[in-house]
Structure formats: C-alpha cells, structure tokens
A = this chain, B = another copy of it.
Amino acid sequence: MIAGWEDVRAEVLRRIRARLWAPGALIPGEEALAAEFGVARATVNRALRDLAEAGLLERRRKAGTRVALLPVRRATLEIPVIRQEVEARGQSHSFRLLAMRMAVPPLPVAGQLGWAPDAEKLYLETLHLADGKPYAHETRWLDPAHLPDPRPDFAAVSVNEWLVTHVAFATGDIAFAAEAADARSAEVLGVAQGAALFVTERTTFTTETAITFVRLIHAPGYRMVTMV
C-alpha cells in the first residue's frame, strides 16, 4: 500500500534497481504514476524531485523524467566545527593560539581572495588538540575589516568558532588534498617532515570580498567519512 511520498520514492527506487526502468529510459509521467499509485500528483512530484536531487533521475520540463545513465553520486559532507568533531569522537578539545600578527599574505592567497596584493591582513596560527595530542594545525588569513573593535579574544574562543557564530552563513568553497608535511607542520604536529597529511582548505566570502582563508592540516590517520 503506497501512502506517502516516501513510499512512492521507495517504489520508484525499487523499479530502477530492478531495472524495470533501464538507465536512460523515460519513465511514466507524474500524472500516470499518481493514478497508478492512487496518490496526488504533488506527492509523486515530491518523490521524483527527491530522487533527482540524489542524482538518480534526470528531469526536464516537457522532455519528461528519465533514469540517469551514469548516475553522479552525490554525497553530502558535514563539515562541523573542529570542537564538535573532536568531541564526537569522545575526546576533549583544546587549542593553542600559536601566532597572531598583521602581515602581507602571499600573492596566490591575496589573488584568490580578491585582496589588494600588498594590504596587510591578520595571520593566525592555531594548533588544535584532542585529549592533549595534536589534532590539526590551522593557518588562517583573515580580513580584520570584518572584526568588531575591540577584537574578540582569540586565545579564549577559537577563531574557527567565533567566525561560525558571528559571520556565519556565508558562501565559500572547500578543497581537500594530500600534502607532504612541511617543516613547520611537522614540528607542530610532531611528525616526520614529508609525512602524508590530509589538508582541508576553505575560502569564505560574504559578498564580493573574502573574509577568510584557512588551511587545516590534519594529523596523520585523519579520515573524512561520509555515507551515500
């Protein structure tokens, strides 16, 4: 018995998996499915829209709905605040502010963020600890124009967290890569130079100009996991 939109989604998914509807094939229209399942068209629409968002169906007005030929898997990554990430592992989070000074960012950084190439910005370096052991090494460039006067006490509240709760809800992009540990990160994280480290880079914008650029260099063994 098909009642709600989740039932509809399940049934459509079943038919796709069972290859009753082959990849690339056109499936019946919403009206037809609504009639068959005995629900309203809006309910079918909700279900199909959901599957389309997941990348399993491709929908185009007038053209109809077809099963994706080469389904692009879409995984949603949750990117929590570091403190939450550490605490979720049952460890206690702490951090040490290693450096905080005004400096001119390297040209590639200034360029990517749309900053004037010779303007001084705030440079922050933080070491995050899980149960007292190095967890991640954070280096950050921050436009002080977005900070209140007087500045927040970044030795008490991590920059990370202050930003999230105060200039949150901005757009940006994230990149992940593997890099060999440079001298500084190796020293701070207590690993051999050249060790393979997982690096997260985030750029955050509000409107036109960037607020901040962070590199998060994770300690060895870090894995980012997600379900599909």
| A84 to B71 Cα, complex, angstroms | 11
Measured between beta carbons, the chain B residues less than 8 angstroms from A169 are 13, 16-17, 56, 71
Integer count of this chain's copies in the complex: 2
Q: Is A69 at the interface (CB under 8 A from chain B)?
A: yes
- Decide: B79 and A23 in contact? CB cutoff 8 A: no
Q: Is A224 at the interface (CB under 8 A from chain B)?
A: yes
- Decide: B77 and A173 in contact? CB cutoff 8 A: no
Extra contacts besides A72-B80, A178-B199 (17): CB < 8 Å: A17-B169, A56-B169, A72-B79, A73-B78, A73-B79, A75-B79, A76-B77, A171-B227, A172-B227, A173-B226, A174-B227, A174-B228, A175-B226, A176-B198, A177-B222, A195-B196, A196-B196
Q: Which A residues form the contact surface with B (CB < 8 A)?
A: 13, 16-17, 23, 55-56, 69-81, 84, 161, 164-165, 168-180, 194-199, 218, 220, 222-228
